[in-house]
Amino acid sequence: MSRRNRRGGQRSAPPTATNKRRTSASDTLQNLVAGLGDPRDKASYGRYVIGRVIDQNELEVLYRTNWLAGKVVDIPASDMTRAWVTRKTAFTDEQMKPFYALEKRLKLKAKVKDAVAWGRLYGGSAIFVHVKGQDPKAPLDPATIQQGAHISLHVLDRYRASRGAGAAVLDPISSMFGQPETFRIAGTSLEVHHSRMIQFQGAELPWQQYITNGYWHDSVLQRLYDSLTRYDTVTQGTASMFFEAVVDVLKVAGLGDMLSTDEGTELVKKRFALAAMMKSFNRMLLIDGADDHSQKTNSFAGVKDVMQQFMSDIAGGADIPATRLFGKSPDGMNASGDSDTRNYYDRISSDQEDDLRPPLELLDEVLMRASLGVYPDDLEMTFNPLWQMSDTEKATLEKTRADRDQVYLAIGVVTEGVVAAELLENGTYSKMTAKDVELAQQLAGPMEDPDVDPAANPEAPGPKDPAAEAAANAA
């Protein structure tokens, strides 16, 4: 017996799991008159699904054979390491020489670039830091590295460094929480502790997808796969159109009857092969009076606009300006492409801080302890800017700074020493040194005249007589 409500009607059935699903599935804009959002609307059936994931073999073939895919991988990796870094410390250049020599011998810059590139291509890579005499399975402690230790760096892509036999890191405080405790080097039985594997990632995945993907992220080409395919289809189709840019069309009476026999077919071949040969000799086509000749020409109007649209699609997906990715001039009147380039360089600068700084700081500490025996506490590492001003822009900036300094010097806000120190820091004068700054600071202070005798000037302070001072105080 069904229960009734106070008005005498039957109570609606309680919501079931099925009803809930149906309700949530229909929570969208609907217009039953226009057919928007109801079963008649074809767009309501669209949904995103995971397509085919590019495997290692196809990634490598794509990288080797498709110049556009190669540039998508290589350009950001090159730009992130091209200008490299500047290190500031109280150590002199002479004291830092062993470190710079070791950095050069290990080809640190090139290996970091390779690691970033392979991370983008495969979805992950790592630099294996090997310290001779230390157990690879033990955690890496840079403080234990002695001066003169033999260091080697090996760049491994994700397929050469798989998860080891150890369990995942379960300490939530650790930066490697939930990630493998050890990695196994492909083709060997060697297992390496995760702290000795400095990782570089590709396109980051959600947590569950990351685990499913073998504790590595995605290739940057995965998201661009459809865009690259469409662009190649357009370019290849356009190239194929040139084979039929102009096609001769001949209407021959009784052609079907002639082709019905082998003898007739051979006669047709010989006839039109001879006609084509004569046309190539004297650019005239000789045909029978009963035949009809015409030409079909393909139109390429609009192809350029379509290709540019696909180029913009790939440039947007890769987050690389079209001027940098395709080497094309910017579109629009008075467009120089500077704004796009500046925005791109800002993005690269952000990636350097987020992705490159932690690995480089660890590598610096390892290499400095091995070469200098100590890691400077005051070390500051800055990434050199990618954007370089023109000579005109530099001159304008220096003129603006000079006018500012002149105003502040006149009202006493700054001294000549402060201005000189900033000139040295900005590198305004290539031959300016710290001694010049010190001299400017001395000249800015009060100066004493060595030819003036303090005794000749009673008001001038001079050496005090203790006895005279005591008598004056007693009086």
Cα angle 347, 351, 354 (rounded to 5 degrees) comes to 140
Task: Say yes or no to pLDDT of 118 above 80.
Answer: yes
CA distances from 168 to 181, 211, 399 (A): 5, 11, 59
Give the pLDDT of residue 98: 97
Please tell me the pTM assigned to this model.
Answer: 0.73
Task: Say yes or no to pLDDT of 37 above 80.
Answer: no
Cα-only R_g, the chain: 38
| 77 beta partners | none
Pair of tokens at residue 180: 């493998």
Backbone dihedral angles phi then psi of residue 37, each to the nearest 5 degrees: 85, -5
Q: How far is 180 from 126, CA to CA, in rounded Å? A: 13
- On whether the CB atoms of residues 136 and 192 are closer than 8 A, the answer is yes
CA distances from 57 to 54, 64, 121, 122, 421 (A): 8, 11, 12, 10, 56
Read off the amino acid at residue 157: D
For residue 453, count other CB atoms closer than 10 A to its CB.
Answer: 8
Backbone dihedral angles phi then psi of residue 83, each to the nearest 5 degrees: -80, -15
Point out the least confidently predicted range of 39-53, 58-72, 353-367.
39-53
Give the pLDDT of residue 8: 47
Q: What is the pLDDT of residues 344-376, one digit of tens each?
A: 999 999 999 999 999 999 999 999 999 999 999
Q: How far is 30 from 461, CA to CA, in rounded Å? A: 95
Backbone dihedral angles phi then psi of residue 228, each to the nearest 5 degrees: -65, -40
Point out the least confidently predicted range of 176-185, 311-320, 452-461.
452-461
DSSP letter at 10 equals B
- Dihedral-angle region of residue 192 (phi above 0 means left; psi in -120 to 50 means alpha; beta otherwise): beta
Task: Say yes or no to pLDDT of 436 above 90.
Answer: no
Percent of the residues in the chain that have a pLDDT greater than 90, as a whole number:
43
Q: What is the pLDDT of residues 214-265, one digit of tens each?
A: 889 999 999 999 999 999 988 888 877 777 777 777 777 777 878 888 888 8
